[in-house]
Amino acid sequence: MSFKAAAIQMCSGTDPKTNAETMERLIREAVSQGAVYVQTPEMTGAIQKDRAALKAVLKDEKGDIVVLTAAKLARELGIYVHVGSTAIARPDGKIANRGFLFAPDGERICTYDKIHMFDVDLDNGESWRESSAYEPGTQARVAELPLATFGFAICYDVRFPSLFRTEAVAGAEILTVPAAFTRQTGEAHWEVLLRARAIENGAFLIAAAQAGTHEDGRETFGHSMIIDPWGNVLAVAGGEGEEIVFADIDPSAVTAARSKIPNLKNARDFNLDTVKNAAAAGGGLQ
């Protein structure tokens, strides 16, 4: 049975309350147009470079305004709400980059903590060390819903195909990649990475993104996307600010794609040998 999915694009600022209000407005708009599953971007609750300022507004799950608002909306509107992620204070004093999925009764189905930390040095002088503030997750996760089976990832995770393959082999029909991609990396890699993950796993992929110039000065790429199991882009947003994109999701398309190219079944284990070429290393020929 097909259903309508929505990916909400935001330009989150530094105040979680304001961002929660924006999220609520956009979710209500998505539902008014028929969406029954709505995904928000990575760091829905706050985009904040200043670590001390971020920690000052952090709450645990029970007190986080984005989490509470999402649960309320799921229950009131009778939909699945997927908070792509928000920063959550952990009991050990560290921060989790955590996604949440809520059922139509408002109950939390599951969470997912981003596994791969964005620790990079880019050509234009941008340098990011996500691991300096966030504790990486260790648990991949799929959720079997009446709609379909969903697999979870966040942003930089998209560069690690084994995560998606593991989820697809476990039954995931829809892969999710809420993100806050930088403009530089997004222009180069965003679409090709998303389409590759969809194609190689024969799965739908939904990626809600942050977009535009944020209150803290950061720039994100946007272009929220929904992609089908054959790699076709069903919907794409622009690169600046708020937007909602929609697509009808028919899980039978996953079965069809995996029947045509059954690479999940055809994968084989293999061994790796490293052969050293002595001649190339200066050994010469005798």
Could you list the active site residues?
A: 42, 114, 155
Residue whose C-alpha is closest to residue 43's, from 71, 81, 74, 9:
9
Give residue 201's region: left, alpha or beta (phi > 0; psi -120 to 50): alpha
DSSP codes, 214-251: -TTS-EEE---EEE-TTS-EEEE--SSS-EEEEEEE-T
